[in-house]
Amino acid sequence: MEKSFSSLNVITAMVTAFDSDEKVNYEKTVNLACHLIKNGSDAIIAAGTTGESPTLTHDEELNLLKELKQSIGDKTSIIMGAGSNSTKTAIEMSQKMQANGADALLSVVPYYNKPSQNGIYEHFASIAKCVDIPIILYNIPGRTGVNMQPQTVAKLAGEFKNIKALKQSSPDMDYISELKELVDKDFTIFCGDDSLILPMMSLGATGVISVASHIVGNKLQQMIKEFKLGNINKALEIHLSLFPLFKKLFMAPNPVPVKEALSKMGLIENVLRQPLTKMNDCELKEFYSVAEKYID
């Protein structure tokens, strides 16, 4: 990566655009990425959970990387989701992403099989030994079923130079304090939940890996800059103005609401791959009662 993680305020965990027949629409995905980097995003993540990675094939993920690199690789950093609950698969995909030009990797804690802390350590250690590009660890216990402890993160960061950052998706603020005591100052923490950006930043997080930035990227960028300049009240004012949207974007499983909003904005078709389904009429009414004022 040309820029260090610590210089990135807003990274968008980007959705994947599909056609009506559920095939990946690479052109619209690239166009969306262009829109994002013009509207507040410092970098993008493709083929993450928000990109519906559980239902993407590995070939589709690699094709996404190739298309993004070819079109916007000179404009922004492209971070690729390369995690798996199979260590062997995670290694293979991480190596392929590196070989095809990914600037960095997002690698999630193994899900469903619920490894021990030692198992989590060995999983990420095995990946880090096989690639050279930066790795963002991704801790999201609500989806994986297991919480990677701060001590495990610190051990990995201390032993592997390419483990550079953590995306933390949990409301446990003590976790951030414990981790900051254990890691070097150059280790970067990203908030993984839009509604928790300011609380996490007050404890040492650098910025956000965001879903809301699809819609309000410039506002998020402004909020984070105000906070870093010491204009806390202004940052809080922006947070409170965006908070209703933050909550409504997760009233249904991510990325269902944000894809609905992006469709309304004319950027993609509102197509999901099963088992995800669109919001029903009652949910749509509730969603737009809040979201309408944020959508241009």
Q: Per-residue b/e over 118-157, b at no fewer than 16 CB within 10 Å?
A: ebbbebbbebbeebebbbbbbbbbeebebbbbbebbbbbb
How many CA atoms within 13 Å lie on the side-chain side of 189?
A: 31
* Residue pair 262/28 in contact by the 8 Å Cβ criterion: no
Neighbours of 57 (CB within 10 A): 9
Tell me if residue 142 falls in helix, strand or coil.
Answer: helix
**If you ran DSSP here, which 8-state letter would residue 49 be given?**
T
Catalytic, out of 164, 167, 219, 248: 167
Q: Which member of 111, 138, 164, 248 is catalytic?
A: 138
CA distance 258 to 23: 19
N-term to C-term CA, the chain: 32
Round to whole Å and give the CA distance between 248 and 267: 19
Strand ranges inside the chain, DSSP E: 10-13, 43-46, 77-81, 104-108, 135-139, 163-168, 188-191, 207-210
Lookup result for tokens 């402890």 = 149
> Strand, coil or helix: what is 212?
coil
- Strand 104-108 to strand 207-210: parallel, antiparallel, or no bridges (unpaired)? unpaired
Tell me how far apart the alpha carbons of residues 120 and 130 are, in angstroms, rounded to a whole number.
Answer: 16
User: Does the annotation count 167 as an active-site position?
Assistant: yes
Going from the C-alpha of 84 to that of each of 23, 93, 118, 180, the distances in angstroms are: 22, 9, 17, 27
Locus of tokens 């910025």: 207
Q: Which residues are catalytic?
A: 138, 167
